[in-house]
Amino acid sequence: MDYHDDFDDLPLRPMQEKPSTVGVIGFISAMVWIGLFLVMLGLKLLLDQEELQVQVPNRTRWMLYWFLALDFMSFLAGLMALILGARGLASVNTHYRGWATAALVLGILEIIGTVVFGCFMGCAVFTHELLNRGG
């Protein structure tokens, strides 16, 4: 078969990937989880201090939902850290392999932690809604 094209003389080049900095980006994403966890802890402490003075059930309800939202954002940050950490450990990537390893380990721990915390918070929200709506 002759297609009469002029592209027969071009050399075939294999696809070459260049090293990237995804390991550091994954580590930064893993650190987002630490920040969100500290925000949740600070809000919980402030809520407990405020509840000693005045009990507002609606505020507690919304704070529990806010904690669930922060937990979901933490889960997404952990998932992103896991994916970027695994990508940073690819054989073609020679930059920041230590950061990629840290991002991978922290991403795994974050996903486990956020799933456990999410289950706990889901039960807390369900219990709070059940007690306040049913009685």
Measured at the alpha carbon of residue 36, what is the angle toward residues 32 and 38, in degrees to the nearest 5?
Answer: 115
For residue 57, which amino acid is it? P
Q: What is the arithmetic mean of pLDDT over 94-123?
A: 90
CA separation for the pair 54, 49 (Å, rounded): 9
Please write the tens of the pLDDT for every residue from 40-83.
888 888 888 888 888 776 888 888 888 899 889 989 999 999 99
Measured at the alpha carbon of residue 43, what is the angle toward residues 54 and 41, in degrees to the nearest 5?
Answer: 130
pTM: 0.74
pLDDT at 115 (0 to 100): 93
